[in-house]
Amino acid sequence: MKNYQICKNCVMDTTDSKITFNNEGICDHCQTFYKDIKPKWDTGEKGNQKLLKIVDKIKKEGKNKDFDCIMGMSGGIDSSYLLYMMKEKYDLRPLVFHVDAGWNSQIAVNNIERLVDGLNLDLYTEVINWEEMKDLQLAYFKSGVPHIDTPQDHAFFATMYQFASKHNINTILTGGNYSTECIRNPIEWMYYQSDSIQLRDIHKKFGQKPLKSFPTTNILWHKIYLPYIKKIKLIRPLDYIPYHKEEAMQLLVDKFGYQKYPQKHFESRFTQFYESYWLLKRFGYDTRRVQYSSLILTKQMTRDKALEKLEKLPYDKQNIKNDFEYISNKLSITIDELQQYMDMEKKTYKDYKSQDFIYSIGAIAMRFLGIERGGKR
């Protein structure tokens, strides 16, 4: 077991078991950012010109259609700011695409409505079959793995990809970005959400009901077939323009009455419980380290401020008690049963069938070709 060490540049530490440090005490996450991401990442005039060319092509492909593209919308700050910029600053006509997997917070619902109505756009919502979602969610609890948020994330991606493929939509816009996500969660914390082999294996072992309508995807379908055969492009516009999280949030507050979340990804009631409490208490993984480290590298937060914030727990004890009640009720189990899952033997993604080898080879290939920079390990 490694001696404890924390990066001298960001706040990533040895809770990431694969982290390495150079002689100056700088972690490999930071080294990857400075070597592979920052030199090729331009949000100035050069980046804007690239985005203008992309937008112009999207508009031409969308001519005489009801909308130019689809845009995934969770109600979080990234997708909300992206929606505002694409409509108001770049004059695109996106169809706003939302997936309701049963865990939306009321704040998220409010924010989506305010943005869509305020920008006069159309919203399409796909509702996941709750009985199947519930069964799969319970299967992940019973599996003992850290990444119990996979059913929700998998449903989001799979549904959007399937919709684009079915309706011959050329472009999907996503709020993914380097400004707030240049460091990714270690794979042992959050395994690849799109691995349908692992999803099916966990459900086969612990599920009780067949997944008749639950949407699934796989790496070969959405990384090869869709972009290279169907010619469906996944674009991250926020990588081409300045994006300062706090400034963007204040803009949305002023223009739309946007409601702030305590932390990134907390638009989902389940993700709030999972990231603030479950991962930290059960496995010792604090996702704030990843989020704050990204903001440190992009000069949106000082390291001292991040360390100060990490001194405080990411959850309120009374709120967690309420979350236990809410989640157990939603899943039709007792609070004691939910606590048993917290206390059970710990497992990892390696304990179940997976496509990890394909992901690893694919990541190496994409980094070699310059298609992907950084990413999970």
270 burial (CB, 10 Å; 0-12 / 13-18 / 19+) is buried
Position 322 pLDDT exceeds 60: yes
β-pair type (233-235, 69-72):
unpaired
CATH fold label, 43-368: Rossmann fold (3.40.50)
Using only the alpha carbons of the chain, give its radius of gyration. 20
Lowest mean per-residue pLDDT among 26-30, 216-220, 292-296: 216-220
Give CA–CA dist 190/149, Å, rounded.
8
Place of tokens 């100060």: 308
Confidence of residue 1 (pLDDT cuts 50, 70, 90): low
pTM flag (> 0.85): yes
Give CA–CA dist 104/101, Å, rounded.
7
pLDDT tens, 145-172? 999 999 999 999 999 999 999 998 999 9
Give CA–CA dist 301/362, Å, rounded.
32
Query: Residue range 332-348: average pLDDT?
Result: 97
Q: For the chain, give every domain's residue range.
A: 43-368
Residues 6+ apart with CB under 8 A from 129: 212, 213, 214
Q: Answer yes or no: are the C-beta atoms of 272 and 323 closer than 8 Å.
A: yes
pLDDT tens, 166-192? 998 999 999 999 999 999 999 999 999
Position 376 pLDDT exceeds 70: no
Give the CA count within 13 Å in the CB-facing half-sphere of 135: 17
Position 267 pLDDT exceeds 70: yes
Position 123 pLDDT exceeds 90: yes
| DSSP for 206-218, written as a single string | H--S--SS-----
